[in-house]
Structure 1
Amino acid sequence: MSPRPRSFETRSDPEDDAVDDGSPSKTALKAEDRALQDLGVALAELPAGPRKRLPIDEDLRRALEEYNAIRAHGARKRQRKFLGRLLRQLDTEPLQRAVDAFREGRQADAAALHSVERWREELVADDAALTRWMIEHPETDVQHLRGLIRNARKAGDIANPSERHSRAWRELFKEIRDRMNAAVRASSEAQDEAR
């Protein structure tokens, strides 16, 4: 004969359930601490230049530098919690905005480089791409660009990635990047003048 399963009765007092003093739950507090720790790590991962411009006190600045110097997992975890405690005393909104702005800038830079890459590959692969380029960037010296495209085509096959690192490919990349940057600068200057 197998033993009978026990049934557990939970007795709850209705008065205990009704008590709510308006303070945040333990889970909410832990989530807030985790968010502050994540912000601390994000601040520590910023390059030195943007990190120096942050409006933070010397204790936090030193703690961020120490976090980057620590390699042991346990010590790094302790330092992460320490960063969270230091950030709890500060207004973190400007710091979060600085981290977000830096990340958005990095994403925009990466997108711009991908755009330059796409243009270079299109210009080398297709003659019609030069016409599209000239419509978008009429200030380009077309003879110089044609020469760069011709040299890149001679340098190697577009399907072979190892041949895309030749000098001709780099020069074409640089020319496209410079023209695109000039167009962005001209556009932003025109917007500034319109204001």
Structure 2
Amino acid sequence: MTHRNEYSEWDDNSSHSPEDELEPLSKSELKRKSAALQKLGEDMVHLTPAQLATIPLDDELADAVAVARKINRKKDGYRRQLQFIGKLLRHRDTEEIEQAMAMLNQKHAQQNSEFHALEKAREDIANQGDTAIQALLETYPELDRQKLRQFHRQIKKEKEKSAPPKAYRELFQYLKSTIGG
């Protein structure tokens, strides 16, 4: 069986190659691709140094990103540097870079999800007390029931006195250290 790409005809009587059937990209499509690559470059510029280290960049591209990070974002030079990064990306296979960026975005989304779950657990304990504590203990038996009840009582007292939410913050830190990883 011969491998055919999406641009080839499906009849076996074809005497020309798939490259003959590729149409040149329209001007609009070229602009969209260029804008997407420039956006990819801008996303790389906004990464932390640790995150950027996980992206497979060649020296020229890494230098261009480093220069962009030093330029004031409100200056015209920053925009031109982003365009230059986009130009460099157009002349490279960006598949590995895009995969690395997708992994970072997925990791970030997972961290956000975990953070929101901890916030919800804290909120439930603060508002519902024993009911929420029991539900949480069924999922996370490593938690200390007495400690959770103590936090609930302290939070309730702080609310009554309109005191700063010290116990509320401590409860979050306890949940984060015990079940948040």
Decide: shared fold, TM above 0.5. yes
Counterpart of 2:79, as a letter, is K
Give the fraction of aligned pairs with identical amino acids, expressed as a percent: 28
- Distance in 2 between residues matched to 1:21 and 1:47, nearest whole Å: 40
- Distance in 2 between residues matched to 1:177 and 1:21, nearest whole Å: 54
State the TM-score, normalized to the length of structure 1. Answer: 0.73
1:110–1:21 Cα change, 3 Å: closer
- Deviation at residue 172 of structure 1 after TM alignment: 0.6
Aligned to 1:130: 133
- Distance in 2 between residues matched to 1:37 and 1:167, nearest whole Å: 45
- Distance in 1 between residues matched to 2:52 and 2:39, nearest whole Å: 16
| Structure 2 residues not aligned, in runs of 5+ | 1-20
State the TM-score, normalized to the length of structure 2. Answer: 0.78
- Distance in 2 between residues matched to 1:82 and 1:174, nearest whole Å: 44
- Deviation at residue 175 of structure 1 after TM alignment: 1.4
Q: Structure 1 residue runs of 4+, over 6 Å off? A: none
- Deviation at residue 79 of structure 1 after TM alignment: 0.9
- Deviation at residue 178 of structure 1 after TM alignment: 2.4
1:131–1:94 Cα change, 3 Å: same
Contact 2:114–2:180 at 8 Å: present in 1 too?
no
Aligned to 2:106: 104
Aligned to 2:145: 142
Q: Are 1:57 and 2:58 matched, yes or no?
A: yes
- Deviation at residue 62 of structure 1 after TM alignment: 1.4
Superposition RMSD on alpha carbons, in Å?
A: 2.0
Paired residues in the alignment total: 158
Aligned to 1:89: 91
The correspondence of residues 1-195 of structure 1 with structure 2, limited to 5 A, is: 22-71=23-72, 72-127=74-129, 128-156=131-159, 166-181=165-180
Counterpart of 1:58, as a letter, is D
Larger Rg over CA atoms? 1
Aligned to 1:188: none
- Distance in 2 between residues matched to 1:114 and 1:53, nearest whole Å: 26
